Amino acid sequence: MTQDTRFARLRYTSRRGMLELDVLLIPFLDEQYPELSEAELATYEAFLEEPDPDLFAWLMGFQACDNEAYRELIARIRRRIPA
């Protein structure tokens, strides 16, 4: 799979059923994709397989995430949220 194909697939998958998630995930991917390592991309792909309510709760800080790799990704996404 080429990098362009992978980016397109991840971008499409980042479009969720909740606008709140779209607003967080799509800009994060657009800005950070070139800088993400292979391991981080694999984590992001796995992260996107989680149910939307869990993603929302984790990203908004309503619920703690037990997965350490996800916690690092969540922190990175949350750093983009304006204070």
Break the chain into its structural domains and give their ranges: 3-78
Q: Which fold has domain 3-78?
A: DNA polymerase; domain 1 (1.10.150)
Percentage with pLDDT > 90 across the chain: 89
Q: According to the model, what pLDDT value does residue 82 have? A: 74
Band (69; pLDDT cuts 50, 70, 90): very high
**pLDDT class of 83 with cuts at 50, 70, 90:** low
> pLDDT tens for residues 24-67?
999 999 999 999 999 999 999 999 999 999 999 999 999 999 99
Q: How confident is the model at residue 71 (pLDDT cuts 50, 70, 90)?
A: very high
Half-sphere exposure of 35 (CA within 13 A, CB side): 7
CA–CA gap between residue 79 and residue 39 (Å, rounded): 20
How far apart (Å, rounded) are the C-alpha atoms in residues 17 and 4? 24
